[in-house]
Protein backbone atom coordinates (compact mmCIF):
# COMPACT_ATOMS: atom_id res chain seq x y z
CA UNK A 1 0.00 0.00 0.00
CA UNK A 2 1.42 3.36 -1.00
CA UNK A 3 0.28 6.37 0.95
CA UNK A 4 0.64 10.11 0.83
CA UNK A 5 2.41 11.54 3.88
CA UNK A 6 -0.24 14.25 4.33
CA UNK A 7 -3.22 11.88 4.11
CA UNK A 8 -2.29 8.24 4.72
CA UNK A 9 -5.84 7.05 4.02
CA UNK A 10 -5.83 8.47 0.51
CA UNK A 11 -3.59 7.96 -2.50
CA UNK A 12 -3.92 10.38 -5.39
CA UNK A 13 -1.02 9.22 -7.54
CA UNK A 14 1.36 11.80 -6.12
CA UNK A 15 2.83 10.00 -3.12
CA UNK A 16 5.71 11.95 -1.65
CA UNK A 17 6.61 9.49 1.09
CA UNK A 18 5.84 5.83 0.78
CA UNK A 19 5.90 3.08 3.31
CA UNK A 20 5.63 -0.68 3.10
CA UNK A 21 2.88 -1.92 5.37
CA UNK A 22 3.63 -5.62 5.85
CA UNK A 23 6.66 -7.89 6.22
CA UNK A 24 5.93 -9.83 3.04
CA UNK A 25 6.14 -6.63 1.00
CA UNK A 26 9.24 -5.50 2.90
CA UNK A 27 11.11 -8.66 1.89
CA UNK A 28 10.14 -8.21 -1.75
CA UNK A 29 11.35 -4.61 -1.86
CA UNK A 30 14.50 -5.10 0.27
CA UNK A 31 16.93 -5.34 -2.67
CA UNK A 32 15.41 -2.56 -4.74
CA UNK A 33 16.64 0.98 -5.12
CA UNK A 34 14.45 4.00 -5.74
CA UNK A 35 14.74 7.03 -7.98
CA UNK A 36 13.08 10.37 -7.45
CA UNK A 37 11.92 12.28 -10.49
CA UNK A 38 9.81 15.25 -11.43
CA UNK A 39 6.90 14.97 -13.79
CA UNK A 40 5.96 17.99 -15.87
CA UNK A 41 2.41 19.12 -15.21
CA UNK A 42 0.42 19.57 -18.40
CA UNK A 43 -2.44 21.93 -17.62
CA UNK A 44 -5.67 20.94 -19.27
CA UNK A 45 -4.49 17.53 -20.47
CA UNK A 46 -6.53 15.40 -18.05
CA UNK A 47 -9.65 17.42 -18.79
CA UNK A 48 -9.09 17.16 -22.55
CA UNK A 49 -8.58 13.39 -22.31
CA UNK A 50 -11.84 13.06 -20.38
CA UNK A 51 -13.66 15.15 -23.01
CA UNK A 52 -12.14 13.12 -25.86
CA UNK A 53 -13.10 9.85 -24.17
CA UNK A 54 -16.70 11.08 -23.79
CA UNK A 55 -16.98 12.37 -27.36
CA UNK A 56 -15.17 9.66 -29.30
CA UNK A 57 -13.65 7.24 -26.82
CA UNK A 58 -11.50 5.37 -29.33
CA UNK A 59 -8.02 5.29 -30.80
CA UNK A 60 -8.01 7.48 -33.91
CA UNK A 61 -6.34 4.68 -35.91
CA UNK A 62 -7.27 1.30 -34.44
CA UNK A 63 -10.67 2.09 -32.97
CA UNK A 64 -9.62 0.53 -29.65
CA UNK A 65 -12.01 1.66 -26.89
CA UNK A 66 -10.27 0.31 -23.76
CA UNK A 67 -9.75 3.53 -21.79
CA UNK A 68 -6.81 2.21 -19.78
CA UNK A 69 -4.66 1.97 -22.91
CA UNK A 70 -5.65 5.23 -24.60
CA UNK A 71 -3.28 8.20 -24.40
CA UNK A 72 -3.55 11.73 -25.63
CA UNK A 73 -0.95 12.08 -28.35
CA UNK A 74 0.23 15.61 -29.07
CA UNK A 75 0.93 16.22 -32.74
CA UNK A 76 3.11 19.22 -31.94
CA UNK A 77 4.71 17.57 -28.93
CA UNK A 78 4.27 19.06 -25.48
CA UNK A 79 8.04 19.27 -25.02
CA UNK A 80 8.12 21.53 -28.10
CA UNK A 81 5.39 23.78 -26.75
CA UNK A 82 2.43 21.88 -28.22
CA UNK A 83 -0.70 22.52 -26.22
CA UNK A 84 -3.52 20.25 -25.11
CA UNK A 85 -6.06 21.42 -27.69
CA UNK A 86 -8.52 19.47 -29.83
CA UNK A 87 -6.65 20.69 -32.92
CA UNK A 88 -3.31 19.33 -31.64
CA UNK A 89 -4.25 16.08 -29.92
CA UNK A 90 -5.77 12.72 -30.66
CA UNK A 91 -6.43 9.58 -28.69
CA UNK A 92 -4.05 6.79 -29.61
CA UNK A 93 -3.53 3.33 -28.21
CA UNK A 94 -0.39 3.39 -26.04
CA UNK A 95 1.84 1.45 -28.46
CA UNK A 96 0.62 3.47 -31.43
CA UNK A 97 1.34 6.66 -29.49
CA UNK A 98 4.94 5.56 -28.83
CA UNK A 99 5.43 4.68 -32.51
CA UNK A 100 3.94 8.02 -33.59
CA UNK A 101 6.25 9.96 -31.24
CA UNK A 102 9.23 7.96 -32.56
CA UNK A 103 8.31 8.87 -36.15
CA UNK A 104 7.61 5.24 -37.08
CA UNK A 105 3.99 6.01 -37.92
CA UNK A 106 3.19 9.09 -39.98
CA UNK A 107 0.12 10.22 -41.86
CA UNK A 108 -0.37 11.17 -45.47
CA UNK A 109 -2.23 14.39 -46.35
CA UNK A 110 -5.50 12.43 -46.47
CA UNK A 111 -4.99 10.82 -43.03
CA UNK A 112 -3.73 7.45 -44.21
CA UNK A 113 -1.29 5.69 -41.85
CA UNK A 114 2.22 5.32 -43.25
CA UNK A 115 4.45 2.81 -41.49
CA UNK A 116 8.21 2.78 -41.25
CA UNK A 117 9.75 -0.38 -42.75
CA UNK A 118 11.02 -1.43 -39.33
CA UNK A 119 7.46 -1.96 -38.05
CA UNK A 120 5.69 -2.76 -41.32
CA UNK A 121 5.44 -6.51 -40.72
CA UNK A 122 4.37 -6.40 -37.09
CA UNK A 123 1.80 -3.63 -37.67
CA UNK A 124 0.74 -4.58 -41.22
CA UNK A 125 -2.94 -4.38 -40.24
CA UNK A 126 -2.48 -0.60 -39.87
CA UNK A 127 -0.82 -0.05 -43.26
CA UNK A 128 -2.99 2.27 -45.35
CA UNK A 129 -5.65 2.52 -42.63
CA UNK A 130 -7.28 5.93 -42.52
CA UNK A 131 -7.63 7.98 -39.39
CA UNK A 132 -11.13 8.46 -37.98
CA UNK A 133 -12.62 11.20 -40.22
CA UNK A 134 -13.91 13.35 -37.33
CA UNK A 135 -10.52 13.31 -35.63
CA UNK A 136 -8.71 13.93 -38.90
CA UNK A 137 -10.84 17.00 -39.59
CA UNK A 138 -9.69 18.47 -36.27
CA UNK A 139 -5.97 17.64 -36.53
CA UNK A 140 -5.32 17.90 -40.28
CA UNK A 141 -3.49 21.24 -40.07
CA UNK A 142 -1.26 20.17 -37.17
CA UNK A 143 -0.35 16.94 -39.00
CA UNK A 144 0.54 18.93 -42.13
CA UNK A 145 2.85 21.16 -40.10
CA UNK A 146 4.46 18.14 -38.41
CA UNK A 147 5.33 16.54 -41.73
CA UNK A 148 7.37 19.56 -42.88
Does pTM top 0.75 for this prediction? no
CA–CA distance, 77 with 84 (Å, rounded to integer) = 9
pLDDT per residue, tens digit, the chain (148 aa), is 445 555 555 554 544 455 555 666 666 666 666 666 555 556 667 788 888 899 889 999 999 999 999 998 888 876 566 677 788 889 999 999 999 999 999 999 999 999 999 999 999 999 999 999 999 999 999 998 886 5
CA–CA distance, 76 with 139 (Å, rounded to integer) = 10
- Using CA atoms, how far residue 116 sits from 32, 40, 124, 136, in Å, is 38, 30, 10, 20
Amino acid sequence: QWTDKDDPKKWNGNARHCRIVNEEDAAFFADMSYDTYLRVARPGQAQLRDEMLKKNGACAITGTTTEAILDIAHIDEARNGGRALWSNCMLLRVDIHRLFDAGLIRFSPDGTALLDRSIAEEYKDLQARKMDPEVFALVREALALRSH
